[in-house]
A and B are shown apart, each in its own frame.
Chain A
Amino acid sequence: MNSRRSKFFVLQALLVALTLILTACGGGAADVPPGELTGSLSVLDWAGYDAEDFWVDFKNTYPNVTVNFEIGISDADIYAKMAAGNQADVFHPYTGWLQFYVDEGLVEEIDTSKLTNWDKVPDHFKQIGQIDGKQYFIPWDWGFSSVLYRTDLIPEGVDSWAALTDPAYGGHISMWDDGPAAVTVSSYIHGYDETTITDEQLAGIKDEWIAQRDLNLFYWAGEPELVEGMTSGDVWAAYAWQGAYATLLANGVPVAYANPKEGRNSWVGVYGIRKGTENMDLALKFLDAKLAEATGNNVVNLFYYGHSNQDVMNGITDETLKEAFSIDDPSILETTNFTPNLTAEQRDAWTAMWAEVKAAP
Chain B
Amino acid sequence: MTTPSPALPLFPRKKGEGGRRPGGGRGLDRRATFWFLYIPPLFWLGAFFLIPLLLMLVYSFRPDMRGDFFGAWQPTLDQYAKLASTGSYWRLLGISAIVAFVISVSAVVLSYPVAYFLAFHGKQRAAFYLVLLLVPFWTSYLLRVMAWKIMLGTEGVINSFLIYLNLIEEPLRFLLYNRNAVVITLIYVWIPFATLPILAALQRIDTSLFEAAADLGARPIHQFLRVTLPLSLPGVFAGFFMVFIPTVGEYVTPLLVGGSRGSLYGNIIQDFFTKAANWPFGAAMSMVMLAGTLVLVTLATRLINLRDLLE
Among candidates B64, B92, B258, B265, residue contacting A344 with C-beta atoms closer than 8 Å: B64
Nearest B residue to A174 via CB reads B260
The residue among B86, B260, B271 with the most chain A CB atoms within 10 A of its own CB is: B260
Q: Within B57-111, which residues are at the interface with A (CB < 8 Å)?
A: 64-69, 86, 88-89, 91-92
Among candidates A83, A348, A351, residue contacting B271 with C-beta atoms closer than 8 Å: A351
Among candidates B65, B66, B275, residue contacting A351 with C-beta atoms closer than 8 Å: B275
Q: What's the Cα separation between A344 and B65 when bound, in Å?
A: 10
Q: For A177, list chain B residues within 8 Å (CB).
A: 275
User: In the complex the two chains form, is A213's CB within 8 Å of B261's CB?
Assistant: yes
Q: What's the Cα separation between A219 and B66 when bound, in Å?
A: 30
A-B contacts, 29 of them at CB < 8 A, read A73-B274, A74-B274, A76-B274, A77-B274, A77-B275, A79-B277, A80-B277, A83-B65, A83-B277, A84-B279, A104-B66, A104-B67, A177-B275, A179-B275, A213-B260, A218-B258, A218-B260, A221-B255, A232-B154, A344-B66, A348-B278, A351-B272, A352-B278, A355-B89, A355-B271, A355-B272, A356-B86, A358-B260, A358-B263
B268 in the interface (beta carbon within 8 A): yes
Q: Interface code A172-201, partner B: CB below 8 Å = 1, 0 otherwise?
A: 000001110000000000000000000000
Q: Assess A217 versus B260: contact at CB under 8 Å? Given A74-B275, A234-B154.
A: yes
Q: For A356, list chain B residues within 8 Å (CB).
A: 86, 88-89
Interface residues in chain A, defined as those with a beta carbon under 8 Å from any beta carbon in chain B: 73-77, 79-80, 83-85, 104, 171, 177-179, 213-214, 216-219, 221, 232-234, 344, 347-348, 351-352, 354-356, 358-361
Q: Assess A179 versus B259: contact at CB under 8 Å? Given A83-B66, A218-B177, A358-B268.
A: no
Q: For A83, list chain B residues within 8 Å (CB).
A: 65-66, 277
A-B CB contacts (within 8 Å), total count: 99
The residue among B265, B267, B274, B275 with the most chain A CB atoms within 10 A of its own CB is: B275
Among candidates A179, A214, A221, A232, residue contacting B155 with C-beta atoms closer than 8 Å: A232
User: In the complex the two chains form, is A359's CB within 8 Å of B263's CB?
Assistant: yes
B235 in the interface (beta carbon within 8 A): no
Q: What's the Cα separation between A355 and B264 when bound, in Å?
A: 11
B219 in the interface (beta carbon within 8 A): no
Q: What's the Cα separation between A355 and B259 when bound, in Å?
A: 14
B234 in the interface (beta carbon within 8 A): no
Q: Assess A77 versus B277: contact at CB under 8 Å? Given A213-B260, A232-B155, A234-B154.
A: yes
Q: For A213, list chain B residues within 8 Å (CB).
A: 260-261
Q: Interface code B241-271, partner A: CB below 8 Å = 1, 0 otherwise?
A: 0000000000000010011110101011001
- Report the minimum CB–CB distance from A353 to chain B (whole Å): 10
Nearest A residue to B273 via CB reads A80
Q: For B89, list chain A residues within 8 Å (CB).
A: 355-356, 359
Q: What's the Cα separation between A233 and B155 when bound, in Å?
A: 9
User: In the complex the two chains form, is B68's CB within 8 Å of A85's CB?
Assistant: yes
B226 in the interface (beta carbon within 8 A): no
User: In the complex the two chains form, is A347's CB within 8 Å of B277's CB?
Assistant: yes
Nearest A residue to B66 via CB reads A104
- Report the minimum CB–CB distance from A225 to chain B (whole Å): 9
User: In the complex the two chains form, is A355's CB within 8 Å of B66's CB?
Assistant: no
User: In the complex the two chains form, is B65's CB within 8 Å of A216's CB?
Assistant: no
- Report the minimum CB–CB distance from B55 to chain A (whole Å): 10
Q: What's the Cα separation between A283 and B88 when bound, in Å?
A: 45
- Report the minimum CB–CB distance from B62 to chain A (whole Å): 11
Q: For A171, list chain B residues within 8 Å (CB).
A: 173
Q: For A77, list chain B residues within 8 Å (CB).
A: 273-275, 277
Q: What's the Cα separation between A73 and B67 when bound, in Å?
A: 22
B197 in the interface (beta carbon within 8 A): no
- Report the minimum CB–CB distance from B268 to chain A (whole Å): 5
User: In the complex the two chains form, is B88's CB within 8 Å of A361's CB?
Assistant: yes
User: In the complex the two chains form, is B267's CB within 8 Å of A358's CB?
Assistant: yes
- Report the minimum CB–CB distance from B53 to chain A (whole Å): 16
Q: For A178, list chain B residues within 8 Å (CB).
A: 275
User: In the complex the two chains form, is A179's CB within 8 Å of B276's CB?
Assistant: yes
User: In the complex the two chains form, is B276's CB within 8 Å of A217's CB?
Assistant: no
Nearest 7 CB-CB pairings of A with B: A351-B276, A76-B277, A80-B277, A216-B260, A359-B88, A83-B65, A213-B260
